[in-house]
Amino acid sequence: MEKLKVTVDIGSSGIAAGAGKVNTKLKEIIEQDNLPVDLKQTSGIGMCYKEPLVEIKDADGTYLYGDMTPELIEDVLHSHLKLNVPLEKYVVHTANFDTDHNAFMNDQVRIALRHCGIIDPEIIEEYEQYEGYEAIKQILNNKVSPTDVIQTILDSGLRGRGGGGFPTGLKWKFAHNSKSDEKYVICNADEGDPGAFMDRSLLEGDPHAVLEGMIIGAYAMEATGGVIYCRAEYPLAIKRLNIAIEQAHKKGYLGKDIFGVKGFDFDIYVKEGAGAFVCGEETALIASIEGERGMPRKRPPFPAVRGLWDKPSNINNVETLANIPWIIKNGAEKYAAYGTEKSKGTKVFALAGKINRGGLVEVPMGISLEDVIYKLGGGIPDGKKLKAVQLGGPSGGCIPSHLMDTKVDYDSVTATGAIMGSGGLVVMDETTCMVDVARFFLDFTRKESCGKCTFCRVGTKRMLEILTRITEGDGKPEDIDNLLELGEEIKKNSLCGLGQTAPNPVLTTIRYFRDEYEAHINDKKCPAHHCKALLDYEIDAEKCTGCTVCAKACPTDAITGERKEVHVLDQEKCIRCGECYSKCNFDAILVS
């Protein structure tokens, strides 16, 4: 009997969904029945909404099974191995027949995520089987000059995927031109928005791609040291990074005279950060690596001139570096064939919020937001209407539904008032209150402010106070203008990117949803029926059965009535907690 190849997704999100138990059950079955199965581990393929995931490869093709449990995997393995029949109702992706979820994978162009969900990230030989480390070997064997490597990256059009969108090749060129016997390549793996899930998944699923990207960058910039700055909350990513670094050392890919090239010395270590959002900013990150409090510094001088330990340094994020080996191996022209005139290649997004298929997707630049949400993401749950998407993380902006034809490229996204960010895309439906969304994100950035700038430290606090007042029903007519003025001043006068972008959620929600602000302030109503302080509850006499459930749930005894008789709600006692509404089984509680 031919061996089945079975792969279990053991990434952080898979483990959280129960992949560890599924893997344990698989091992038990295989060992107990002495089954002809090659079992291996990989990491997240990105289909988070269907985890735990198990892939089975047989003579006829590859089948990805979703929502696996220890009980289901026993049935799947029995059918596939003994009956040679896939259990189609559990298959979420295959080339052999259509499934409801094929579009999630088929409509992607996977470059940064090319190995995620395919290789075992803890085995360097598996990375090498997929042309791993061939890009740097190609450079060294062909004696490609550092300036030619940089020119290839420039020609590819790759721009920083961490949020700023600065041309990567140009950044490398600046560092290359800075003369010093000591330079550093730094990988920023500490973004604090939903896009950080992408960083973590890439590091967990394909750590060697990031290492190879850093090695190529070190060659191009003539750097001697590398640091991966990763938040300590990502223990699995850190574990696999350290395993990859140790394996690369044993292969001679890190250390002294790497790849057998005399004088090519480069080493990498992992620096664990405390997860401060402000350390996504280059100079704050450098300060943290140096053991100081993560606070931004004035620029110039820029890190390319004076960075880590006052030496020329280059900082790229995880996704940017993962693209580098592919570009070198396949050529700048092939990479630049994807995307638009000024935004080349692909972009990874972490789809979250009110969406049917949440997870990681990689799409070509130039695709519309509508296609990302509906073709790959499967649209909005429960037949509800799309209201907006938050793009760019906590300091990004909200793009309304009527602008879903916006293309995914830096210029188009910026024109809406949002930013590309590191790839967080939060979908909101008609039940979302946009004023409360602005308050939620501003609360996050206010807490993450390092406090160095008065405008950021005090300004975000004042804006948050106004937003909180509005959602609690105490808004004033002048609040909207005050928010706009404060927001623009904070953007203009803050030192770093955190402060400069912190007002974006507020400014974009006022720009596109001003009517909701006015309803909160003037009418004391929340159109989305979300802000509790602005809701009024009534009992529908025609639907009330007198079951007394609402009365028992009410914490202030605001609801009275005899059993099997219509109940009455005392508005004076009602604190608008919503308990009666959530407990009523007959839709007899009306909300306005």
Q: Do 281 and 249 belong to one domain?
A: yes
Q: What is the mean pLDDT of residues 209-236?
A: 96
Last residue of a domain, one of 373, 401, 429: 429
Report pLDDT digits (tens) over 283-337. Answer: 999 999 999 999 999 889 999 999 999 999 999 999 999 999 999 999 999 999 9
Q: What is the mean pLDDT of residues 558-587?
A: 91
Crossing angle of helices 318-330 and 196-205, rounded to 10°: 50
Q: Decide if 359 is inside a domain.
A: yes
Q: Decide if 84 is inside a domain.
A: yes
Last residue of a domain, one of 429, 449, 466: 429
Q: Decide if 116 is inside a domain.
A: no
Q: Do 315 and 217 belong to one domain?
A: yes
Q: Decide if 111 is inside a domain.
A: no
Q: What's the CATH code of the domain at 96?
A: 3.40.30.10
Percent of the residues in the chain that have a pLDDT greater than 70, as a whole number: 99
Q: What is the mean pLDDT of residues 218-226?
A: 97
Residue 509 has pLDDT above 60, yes or no: yes
Query: What is the Cβ-side half-sphere exposure of residue 519, based on CA atoms within 13 angstroms?
Result: 18
Q: Which residues pair with 188 in a beta bridge?
A: 229, 317
Number of domains in the chain: 5
Query: How would residue 193 be classed by pLDDT, with cut points 50, 70 and 90?
Result: low
Q: Do 318 and 232 belong to one domain?
A: yes
Q: Which helix (H) or strand (E) holds 471?
A: helix 454-471
Confidence (pLDDT) at 395: 84
Query: How would residue 577 be classed by pLDDT, with cut points 50, 70 and 90?
Result: confident
Return the biggest CA–CA distance within the chain: 91
Report pLDDT digits (tens) over 69-113. Answer: 999 999 998 898 888 899 999 999 999 999 999 999 999 999 999
Q: What is the DSSP string of 511-533?
A: HHHHHHHHIIIII---TTS--GG
Confidence (pLDDT) at 426: 95
Structure-token match 């959620």, residue found: 505
Q: What is the mean pLDDT of residues 511-540?
A: 94
Residue 554 has pLDDT above 90, yes or no: yes
Q: Which helix (H) or strand (E) holds 228?
A: strand 225-231
The whole domain housing 14 covers 4-103
Highest mean pLDDT among 57-61, 160-164, 353-357: 353-357
Q: Return mean pLDDT, the chain.
A: 94
Q: Do 324 and 369 belong to one domain?
A: no
Structure-token match 């996504």, residue found: 280
Confidence (pLDDT) at 274: 84
Q: Do 133 and 235 belong to one domain?
A: yes
Q: Do 34 and 138 belong to one domain?
A: no
Q: What's the CATH code of the domain at 547?
A: 3.30.70.20
Q: Do 257 and 163 belong to one domain?
A: yes
Q: Do 37 and 155 belong to one domain?
A: no
Q: Do 408 and 438 belong to one domain?
A: no
Q: Do 242 and 185 belong to one domain?
A: yes
Confidence (pLDDT) at 195: 52
Q: What is the mean pLDDT of residues 346-353?
A: 94
Confidence (pLDDT) at 191: 62
Pick the closest to residue 229 from 143, 142, 140, 317 (CA basis): 317
Q: Decide if 368 is inside a domain.
A: yes
Structure-token match 């693209």, residue found: 323
Amino acid at 549: V
Q: Do 417 and 447 belong to one domain?
A: no
Confidence (pLDDT) at 254: 98
Report pLDDT digits (tens) over 6-16. Answer: 999 999 999 99
Residue 39 has pLDDT above 70, yes or no: yes
Residue 150 has pLDDT above 60, yes or no: yes
Residue 194 has pLDDT above 70, yes or no: no
Confidence (pLDDT) at 585: 92
Q: Decide if 131 is inside a domain.
A: yes
Q: What's the CATH code of the domain at 315?
A: 3.40.50.11540
Q: Which residues contact 101 (CB under 8 A, 6 or more apart)?
A: 47, 50, 66, 92, 93, 357, 378
Q: Decide if 68 is inside a domain.
A: yes
Confidence (pLDDT) at 302: 94
Q: Do 233 and 281 belong to one domain?
A: yes
Q: Decide if 173 is inside a domain.
A: yes
Last residue of a domain, one of 503, 523, 543: 523
Residue 246 has pLDDT above 80, yes or no: yes
